[in-house]
Amino acid sequence: MQSVMLGIDIGGTNTAYGFVGEDGILLSDGQIPTLAGEGPEQLLERLTTLTVKGRDKLAAEVNLIGVGIGAPNGNYYTGNIENPPNLGWPTVPFARMMSKKLNLPVAITNDANATAIGEKYFGAARDMENFVVITLGTGLGSGIYVNNELVYGEDGFAGELGHTCVQVKGRDCACGNQGCLETYVSATGLKRTVFELLSRRTGKSTLREVSFNNLSGQQIAEFALAGDIIAREAFQITGEYLGVALANAAAFSRPEAFILFGGMVAAGELIVNPTYMAMERHLLGVYRGKINILTSALPGSSAAVLGAAALAWNEAKNKEKF
């Protein structure tokens, strides 16, 4: 009988799920609207129904043995989703609630950590024991592996590189501070840089035709690849900020590689090259020439679900009782 894990990625708008084998093969998947405004119990109810239906639909020789969840502010230690900013919930013991409903072990962590575990099990970090995954979406998330273990820290929330300060008195951040890395390096940060450049430069750019809210990181990547000068300069600036931040991060975790993930990474070497050059320039001498910058090897559309399932597989491997 084949064992599978259910991976669930709870997002602000949609919640994706999939049944994943130990080899990382997705047996069946789908997505539902999160409808965060209706509360966590409602989402839990719909997820439970889906799980039971999905499990019944799979061949009789498939055995669902556990659930992994990636969620904003998901706390691995407590199993809680703690005051998630984009869901508008209070702290909810989501893992415990789901475990009770399904009578299965359930583990939870935040989305960036889940992506890092996904890279470790099914992606670019398969053979690595020390690496850092940087997720570039609305914000910047990070999952840090040191000595073959994901770093959770004192309370489960270690690894918030997105909120390290890269510019004193810099851009306002959603967290309430100023100058955080993610205000420069994220899809939103990249857009802010594009609009600053558009106001400063006179050159032609297709980006002048697009409104801020209609622009995505992936689109800017496409414009840059097509030769748009503003988009290219925006990636150059973004890469410089990121490279400095990675050099700093290397000083306390000495990874084999940094792995970049997210729609804007479609720009490829247009983001990787300036990042690498800035990182090398700021790295401590003993690290120079030894740390790679890679892009994710997970399929973009199912990466979050694979990561969540990998969390469950990791629990099953490392814990007697999961």
Binding site for Zn ion (CB under 5 A): 163, 173, 175, 177, 180
Is residue 98 within 8 A of residue 287, CB to CB? The reply is no
| 144 vs 207 by CB, closer to Zn ion | 144
| Token pair 């061949």: residue | 59
Backbone phi, psi, residue 270, to 5°: -65, -25
SS (H, E, C) 291-302: CEEEECCCCCCC
Q: How many CB atoms lie within 10 A of CB 171?
A: 18
Q: Strands 140-146, 149-150: parallel, antiparallel or unpaired by DSSP? A: antiparallel
CB of 163 to Zn ion, least distance (A): 4
Q: How far is CA 300 from CA 3, 168, 257, 304, in A?
A: 24, 34, 19, 8
| 91 vs 178 by CB, closer to Zn ion | 178
CB of 322 to Zn ion, least distance (A): 34
| 186 vs 205 by CB, closer to Zn ion | 186
| 29 vs 182 by CB, closer to Zn ion | 182
| 151 vs 175 by CB, closer to Zn ion | 175
CB of 172 to Zn ion, least distance (A): 9
CB of 84 to Zn ion, least distance (A): 16
| 184 vs 235 by CB, closer to Zn ion | 184
Sheet of 149-150, strands arranged across: 149-150, 140-146, 131-136, 257-261, 292-295
| 130 vs 178 by CB, closer to Zn ion | 178
Query: In the structure encoding, which two tokens stand for residue 19, read together?
Result: 């049944």
Query: In the structure encoding, which two tokens stand for residue 272, read together?
Result: 């990787």
SS (H, E, C) 153-195: CCCCCCCCHHHCECCCCCCECCCCCECEHHHCCCHHHHHHHHH
| 124 vs 161 by CB, closer to Zn ion | 161
CB of 303 to Zn ion, least distance (A): 24
CB of 160 to Zn ion, least distance (A): 8
CB of 180 to Zn ion, least distance (A): 3
Is residue 115 within 8 A of residue 307, CB to CB? The reply is yes
Classify 258 as helix, strand or coil.
Answer: strand
**Separation CA 239–CA 242 (nearest Å):** 5
Q: How far is CA 260 from CA 25, 140, 182, 242, 264, in A?
A: 22, 10, 14, 10, 9
CB of 183 to Zn ion, least distance (A): 7
